[in-house]
Amino acid sequence: MTIDRVTRQNSVLEAIVKAHVETALPVGSKHISRMLDLSSATIRGVMFDLERAGYIKQPHISAGRIPTDLGYRRYVDNILSYAEFVQNDIFSQVRQILSEQKLYEDLIEAASSAISRITNYTGIALLPNNRLYFDGAHRILEQPEFMELDTARDFLRVVEERGELVEILNRDLKQRGTAIHIGRENAFEELSECTIITATYKYKNQVSGNVGVIGPMRMKYEEVVPMVEFFAKMTTDFLEELSV
């Protein structure tokens, strides 16, 4: 595959991802043609190649295309440019909330709640003793992907039973840093429609746990990943203050 062909595929995939994230609807070649100022025939050819390779799919007959988990992974690894992180009034309020916590467990619980409110997804946080906090399960159920009963039921079962989530976060903890699990990359089938993003935090200069979100695959990764990393850093900073 030539560099030009790869570049064109990446441009079309990026356009499909961005359009689908905004609308939650399948994306047609005419729409992408207008976005990229290329002919519909050219776009159809590129979309055919992307679909054949498993990066996009047609959810039903006579529909446009949507990204698959493989498509989102290609986007995250090779195309995505992260947004500049702006620490606005909302984050000042979050900082204030976290600064008021005097106990380790309360601070982690507050971080889980705050990250849920900011991202509008389900917030999760793991303590060193494998205790899991989560907040905002109802927020993910408001996403179009979870209107189907089976998908919603699977998600709620994993959240309520917690053991599978603890296992995922423990694996991320060993890797350290930021982890992104997209769709079928998640170890459990019930989470195959979800993305889990976590980042580790430290206590007394040792990696102790992680914070993050569960959301649909259709999310603004360029915004959510820096948010998760910011919350992990902020959690570390306030835990260090507690240890003084």
Query: Amino acid identity, residue 112?
Result: S
> Virtual CA dihedral for 100, 105, 108, 114, nearest 10 degrees?
-60
CB atoms within 10 A of CB 188: 15
* pLDDT given for residue 32 in this prediction: 93
- Look at residue 17 in the predicted model and tell me its pLDDT: 96
Per-residue pLDDT of the chain (244 residues; tens, 9 = 90+): 555 889 999 999 999 999 999 999 999 999 999 999 889 899 999 999 999 999 999 988 777 999 999 999 999 999 888 876 666 677 788 888 888 888 899 999 999 999 999 899 999 999 999 999 989 989 988 899 888 888 899 888 888 888 888 999 999 988 888 999 999 999 888 899 999 999 999 998 899 999 999 999 999 999 999 999 999 999 999 998 876 5
CA dihedral 235, 185, 10, 51 (to 10 degrees): -150
pLDDT, residue 89, reads: 72
pLDDT tens digits, one per residue of 162-220: 888 899 999 998 888 899 999 999 988 889 999 999 999 999 889 999 999 999 999 99
Q: Domains of the chain (ranges plus CATH)?
A: 3-79 (1.10.10.10), 89-243 (3.30.450.40)
DSSP 77: I
Q: What is the pTM of this model?
A: 0.92
Q: How many residues does the chain have?
A: 244
Strands 56-57 and 122-126: unpaired
In this prediction, residue 100 carries a pLDDT of: 87
Alpha helices in 61-162 (DSSP H): 69-74, 89-99, 104-119, 137-141, 149-161
Using CA atoms, how far residue 50 sits from 37, 43, 200, in Å, is 19, 10, 34
Cα 132 → chain centroid = 18
Q: Give me the pLDDT at residue 207, please.
A: 92
Q: CB count, 10 Å around CB of 220?
A: 15
Helix axes 3-23, 29-36, angle to 10 degrees: 110
